[in-house]
Amino acid sequence: MTQFLDVRTLLVMVAVIATLSAIGMASFGRRYPRFSGVAWFAVADLFLAIGMLLVATRDYAPDWLTTVVANVFSLGGLLLNAEGLRRYAGGDWPWWSRPYFLFLLLLPVTAWFTYVDPDVRIRVLAFTGCVGFTLCAIAVALHRSPAGPRLRLVQLAFGGFALWMAGRWLFTLTNAPMPSFMDAGSVHAMTILGYVVFVMTKNYGILRDSVGQALGEIEAQAHTDALTGLLNRRGLAEFAAPAIARARRQGSPFSVAILDIDHFKRINDAHGHAAGDAVLAGIAGILRSRLRASDACARLGGEEFVLLLPDTNEAQALHVADVLRERVASVEFLGVGRCTVSFGVSTRRDDADLADMLRAADRAMYAAKAAGRNLVVQA
């Protein structure tokens, strides 16, 4: 099998693939700088590529370059992944997840067994042990990170390669010394091939998660009002359809409340649109904090909001609206002062749909305005 797994050829292949991965990750990080840490993955892959290419020049370049410096770049490339993941995944990463102290072991051992007492096997044992510990530490730290569940594939890349390195270490320990790394055998050749799988799996996991986050944000933006963080009309409709259908099946009450900020135009005219936006965001926060998890709140546009209240009858809906009305009236908005809102409340009857309830609540809200504002009126 060894004849088909030429070590020098595999090393060059890893260097080429790692370089291409570094270019791809660097381009992605430059295009989407919001994904912190991606640039570190690019540098990590570049370091790995340099390390592998230097090893491939063994017997054609000085030992200090093809052994000592090559090992520094190869191990450094793996360690830089920890820096990238710490920034990308977030959370509090322990000190041992970035074991730079391993250089204090690897460098003297590599130098000693290259110049003083040449021994390829011990150099391989030292390097494999350092790499295996690094991979395992990163996998464990990533598992403990808040982003761990999202990055299972990346964990698998580090953890799986760590297990392979453990097996390689045991194989090297129990077998005869190697006269030359270039003729080390199929296990070591397969290890070099494993770097290809590792780099591609790791980067694919990162890119898949990044795309997933971006798509999730786009999906959220399609259903969310940018200013207040509440549902928009589309989000409201998608929440309402199954909720009303469930109320019909179960024969349970379902109420809607529409509220409008009183004299909102005066706020914008007197204090500016920035102050008006702050009032909208503040009232949205009040509404969100006082509602149940089963309820929904949306901004219909301008200064008008709507509440969807499943399993809520007329009396309960009036009480919820009145509590919220009083809460809004009690708040001093910075630079504006106190504001009031007018509510219109509607409860589902017969086969009324969302549009019917919204029209009824809207009429009730205008009745509250006509009656003096800062009121709750039942449709």
Residues serving a catalytic function are 303
Cβ contacts of 353 within 8 Å, gap of 6 or more:
244
DSSP at 115? I
Q: How many CA atoms lie within 13 A of 121 on its CB side?
A: 11
Q: How would you classify the pairing of strands 376-378 and 341-347?
A: parallel
DSSP 234-288: HHHHHHHHHHHHHHHHHT--EEEEEEEETTHHHHHHHH-HHHHHHHHHHHHHHHH
Nearest to 10 by CA among 206, 266, 196: 196
| Residue 89 near residue 104 (C-beta atoms within 8 A) | no
Amino acid residing at 131: V
* Distance (Å, whole) CA 262 – CA 339: 7
Q: Alpha carbon of 337 to those of 33, 131, 148, 276, 324: distances in Å? A: 40, 62, 45, 11, 17
* Alpha-carbon torsion angle 22, 206, 167, 80, nearest 10: 50
* Distance (Å, whole) CA 337 – CA 368: 22
